[in-house]
């Protein structure tokens, strides 16, 4: 009989939740980042309407990531959150601003721009904070006993700034390819144009982060380049190259629906690369998933719920997207 | 702004501040989601236009309030880790799964169907749309179930053990979830949410009736809300009394603080109506009290002995003045609600429900009473269980994150500024929506879309839907 390793299963579940969050809220935040580039009110209304019916379902995956982490790996949650204190607070406040903008911008009779600024600024701040948090985790966190033992500015390094900027570029690309898929006419043409620029920027960002990461810790270098690991890790950059070629082709041929999903594939590969670097640590170089895991009966209790409910959730979420499928036309928004 | 405060006090201030802002939105949207489901059901059943107008009217308000609840709620789910990391590490294995179940069974359900509920009537047709509304309403109730279970476990922990790492672990999940105070707290809170919403709906109805007593929509919503106040407010007093007796059994020190009983009484304790709790001196100043009534209420006997805070070591005392006064504010609001319900019943039998200016002005004044009562009630229960986060087992000072005070002070200031800006704007938008009476052909939460055929009925809607296919 194959022994079932609950912490590994839960590591994959949490990783899955975070990835679904990136898939769903990435384009959503990306639209906010791109907002200043679309100054016309009609364009902004279409952009908002393309995501209004689904945005808070998207953000629920972030709550699952946080809540799931506390439940399945309480030690990791207890160490990571204080270590990332400032980026986390900034992310939460950014999400407050952009979240309320979805309703508020339709409710104000004057100065509509104020909530448009809140939407754009909040989205940018939240994304930057998420990227910085990721970099801060990768570069390692000072732990003593069962607690975070560093200062409240440890997260701020050139590397974490780099990952922050990289994520802003990535989400913006998701946003622009989403617009390519969901809009028409001049708005779509502009989104195509932006997608080209953002794709080039994203490839540069992936390249720089990939080169910088192995220099953080010798373990990362070993994980990627030592024999025989390289047999397993080499396909990742090869796949990135292949997806990039397909993405360039789909942009050139104006296949409206492909660029978004191919961008998601790029994210999935980058995410897999991240997993390869980190596993089996949940707090890199100090706490493994087995050390951080809650007792088996807690993980098992939740696993039952996850096994039944996640497929159900994915089902009705897909239905909600299906209801609001197709191109969003100007003036025929949901608002 | 907060120089000289220690990090734990700041973290508590931040949690109290963000929680207080958050709780009013779920309290309102739990009740409003159920009300919307009732309105849509009545529309489908009777086909009367007034119900779909009211539905669309309150749906716009729901959309704004729900959005504010979501964003302030995401803050709460991360604040356990950022500011209470020691608590999270120790209790994560027990309350983490309860909160994870809340996300899986409630938040996704609400969020997944919210979009269809808000914007999808034309796309999915009335029946499926009603299902979506129902799922959102059920989601809010499931959410209350799990979060109150987690909170109640912290108040009256059962079904757990400690492991070698000093973490709480579950031994019996059933006992963890259905811990002794949970059923009482759940009933008390859900009734509070329903009352809060009813009082807002009633106030809005009354506001418009004051201007024009013939408006169809305001008449219907006012009448429905007053039935709720008449029936639910007395039930709430009953539920609160039972909850109090449960607290006396499991958290007697909290009751001592609520009642202001610094001294023990061997032959019947008085009921202190008002007074100024002097925590330092350990006595009640300027007390106005009724002899022996305290024992009668809590022990159902005039001469029953009651222990006071003098039997408890001082380091285990909760802050008595806050607990004592917040409890009185809550009870006062509850009594006013019962009064409103009874007055409306009288006017109803006299046939002046829609014409009594006195009743309408009373109802308008009571608009915020539900929110005040909810906040005061939560302050009572959360302050009264201090100095513990897990009652009797884990102290608040041992629960906080190892953060420097300036870090917490900065975030607290940021929260205060952002929340005041954002939520002030939100409340203004809500009041602006409520200031308009619901009218013929009321639209849902959309502003720049050509209106649907006014006065759509379920049958016509179904026909239109069929034709569209």
> For chain B, what is the mean pLDDT?
88
Q: pTM for the full model?
A: 0.88
Residue B451 has pLDDT above 50, yes or no: no
CA distance B231 to chain A (A): 34
Smallest CA-to-CA distance from B196 within B314, B358, B24 is with: B24
Question: How many whole angstroms separate alpha carbon B319 and alpha carbon B328?
Answer: 15
| Among the listed residues B362, B364, B278, B347, the one whose alpha carbon sits nearest the alpha carbon of residue B317 | B278
What is the rounded distance in angstroms from the CA atom of residue B178 to the CA atom of residue B157?
10
Tokens of A39: 């100054």
- The distance in angstroms from the start CA to the end CA of chain B is 62
Q: How far is CA B371 from CA B21, B29, B55, B143, B198, in A?
A: 11, 12, 22, 19, 11
Which residues have a Cβ under 8 Å from the Cβ of B44 and sit 6 or more positions away?
A: B126, B127, B130, B458
pLDDT tens profile B171-210: 999 999 999 999 999 999 999 999 999 999 999 999 999 9
Q: With an 8 Å Cβ cutoff, are A294 and B96 in contact? A: yes
Beta-bridged to residue A283, according to DSSP, are: A287
Give me the mean pLDDT over the B269-290 stretch: 87
Position A296 scores a pLDDT of 87
Are the beta carbons of A332 and B104 separated by less than 8 Å? no
pLDDT confidence of residue B465:
37
Closest to A12 measured CA to CA, from A289, A301, A294, A302: A289
- B293-351 residue pLDDT tens: 888 888 888 888 888 888 989 899 999 999 999 999 999 999 999 999 999 999 999 98
Cβ-nearest to A295 among B66, B114, B169: B169
pLDDT score, position B449: 37
Report chain B residues whose CB lies below 8 A from the CB of A319: 112
What per-residue confidence (pLDDT) applies to B67?
86
Give me the residues of chain A with pLDDT under 70, please: 1-3, 109-112, 329-335
Which residues in B lie closer than 8 A to residue A108 (C-beta atoms)?
425, 429
Of A74, A75, A103, the CB nearest to B64: A103
CB distance B96–A310 less than 8 Å?
no
pLDDT confidence of residue A114: 85
> pLDDT per residue over B19-49, tens digit each?
998 999 999 999 999 999 999 999 999 988 8
From CA B78, how far away is CA B69, in angstroms rounded? 15
Nearest CA distance, A292 vs chain B (angstrom)? 9
Distance of CA B268 to the CA centre of its chain: 34
Q: Is A218 exposed, middle or buried (0-12, 13-18, 19+ CB in 10 A)?
A: exposed
Asked if A56's CB is within 8 angstroms of B77's CB, the reply is no
Nearest to A295 among B81, B93, B446 (CB): B93
pLDDT tens digits for range B232-268: 999 999 999 999 989 989 999 999 999 988 888 888 8
> CB B445 to CB A103 under 8 A?
yes
Structure confidence at residue B466 (pLDDT): 38
Q: Which residue of A has its CA nearest to B61?
A: A103
Contact between chains at A323 and B104 (C-beta distance less than 8 A): no
């Amino acid at each position: 009989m194959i022994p079932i390793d609950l912490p590994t299963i839960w590591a994959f579940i949490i990783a899955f939740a975070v990835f679904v969050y990136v898939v769903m809220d990435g384009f959503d935040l990306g639209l906010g980042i791109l907002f200043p580039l679309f100054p016309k009110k009609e364009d902004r209304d279409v952009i908002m309407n393309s995501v209004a019916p689904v945005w808070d379902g998207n953000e629920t995956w972030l709550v699952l990531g946080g809540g799931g982490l506390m439940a399945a790996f309480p030690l990791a949650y207890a160490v990571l959150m204080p270590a990332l204190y400032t980026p986390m607070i900034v992310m939460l406040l950014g999400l407050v601003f952009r979240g309320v903008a979805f309703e508020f911008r339709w409710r104000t009779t004057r100065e509509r721009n104020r909530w448009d600024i809140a939407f754009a600024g909040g989205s940018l701040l939240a994304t930057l904070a998420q990227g910085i948090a990721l970099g801060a985790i990768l570069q390692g966190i000072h732990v003593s006993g069962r607690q975070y033992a560093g200062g409240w500015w440890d997260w701020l390094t050139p590397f974490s700034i780099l990952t922050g900027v990289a994520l802003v570029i990535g989400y913006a690309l998701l946003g622009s390819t989403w617009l390519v898929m969901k809009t028409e006419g001049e708005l779509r043409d502009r989104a195509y144009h932006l997608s080209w620029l953002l794709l080039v920027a994203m490839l540069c960002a992936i390249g720089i982060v990939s080169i910088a990461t192995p220099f953080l810790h010798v373990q990362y270098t070993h994980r990627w380049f030592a024999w025989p690991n390289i047999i397993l890790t080499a396909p990742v950059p090869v796949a990135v190259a292949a997806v990039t070629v397909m993405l360039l082709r789909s942009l050139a041929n104006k296949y409206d629906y492909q660029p978004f999903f191919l961008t998601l594939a790029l994210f999935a590969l980058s995410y897999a690369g991240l997993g390869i670097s980190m596993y089996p640590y949940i707090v890199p170089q100090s706490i493994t998933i087995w050390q951080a895991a809650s007792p088996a009966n807690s993980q098992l209790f939740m696993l039952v719920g996850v096994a039944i409910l996640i497929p159900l959730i994915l089902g009705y979420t897909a239905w909600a997207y299906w209801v609001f499928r197709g191109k969003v036309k100007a003036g025929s928004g949901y608002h | 702004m907060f120089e000289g405060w220690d990090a734990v006090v700041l973290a508590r201030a931040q949690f109290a501040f963000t929680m207080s802002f958050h709780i009013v939105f779920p309290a309102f949207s739990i009740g409003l989601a159920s009300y919307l489901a009732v309105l849509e059901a009545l529309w489908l059943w009777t086909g009367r236009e007034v119900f779909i107008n009211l539905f669309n009217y309150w749906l716009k308000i729901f959309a704004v309030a729900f959005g504010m609840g979501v964003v302030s709620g995401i803050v709460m789910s991360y604040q356990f880790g950022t500011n209470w990391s020691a608590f999270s590490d120790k209790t994560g294995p027990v309350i983490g799964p309860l909160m994870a179940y809340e996300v899986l069974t409630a938040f996704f359900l609400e969020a997944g169907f919210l979009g269809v509920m808000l914007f999808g009537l034309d796309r999915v047709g009335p029946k499926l749309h009603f299902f979506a509304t129902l799922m959102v309403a059920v989601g809010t109730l499931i959410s209350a179930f799990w979060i109150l279970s987690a909170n109640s476990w912290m108040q009256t922990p059962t079904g757990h053990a400690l492991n070698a790492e000093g973490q709480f672990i579950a031994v019996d999940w059933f006992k963890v979830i259905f811990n002794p105070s949970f059923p009482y707290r759940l009933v008390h809170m859900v009734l509070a949410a329903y009352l809060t919403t009813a009082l807002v709906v009633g106030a809005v109805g009354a506001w418009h009736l004051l201007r024009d007593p013939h408006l169809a929509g305001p008449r219907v919503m006012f009448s429905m809300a007053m039935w709720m106040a008449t029936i639910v407010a007395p039930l709430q007093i009953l539920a609160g009394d039972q909850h109090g007796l449960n607290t006396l059994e499991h958290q007697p020190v909290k009751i001592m603080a609520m009642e202001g009983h610094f001294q023990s009484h061997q032959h019947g304790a008085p009921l202190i109506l008002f007074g100024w709790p002097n925590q330092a001196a350990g006595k009640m100043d300027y007390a106005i009290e009724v002899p022996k009534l305290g024992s009668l209420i809590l022990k159902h006997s005039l001469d029953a002995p009651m222990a006071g805070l003098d039997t408890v070591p001082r380091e285990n005392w909760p802050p008595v003045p806050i607990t004592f006064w917040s409890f009185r504010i809550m009870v006062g609001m509850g009594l006013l609600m019962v009064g409103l319900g009874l007055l409306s019943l009288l006017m109803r039998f006299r046939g002046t429900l829609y014409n009594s200016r006195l009743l309408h002005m009373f109802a308008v004044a009571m608009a915020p009473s539900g929110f005040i009562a909810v906040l005061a009630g939560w302050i009572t229960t959360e302050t009264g269980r201090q100095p513990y986060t897990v009652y009797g087992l884990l102290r608040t000072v041992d629960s906080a994150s190892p953060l420097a005070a300036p870090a917490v002070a900065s975030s607290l200031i940021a929260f205060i500024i952002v929340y005041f800006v954002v939520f002030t704007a939100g409340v203004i938008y809500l009041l602006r929506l409520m200031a308009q009476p619901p009218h013929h052909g009321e639209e849902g939460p959309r502003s720049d879309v050509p209106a649907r055929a006014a006065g759509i009925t379920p049958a016509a809607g179904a026909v239109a839907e069929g034709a569209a296919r």
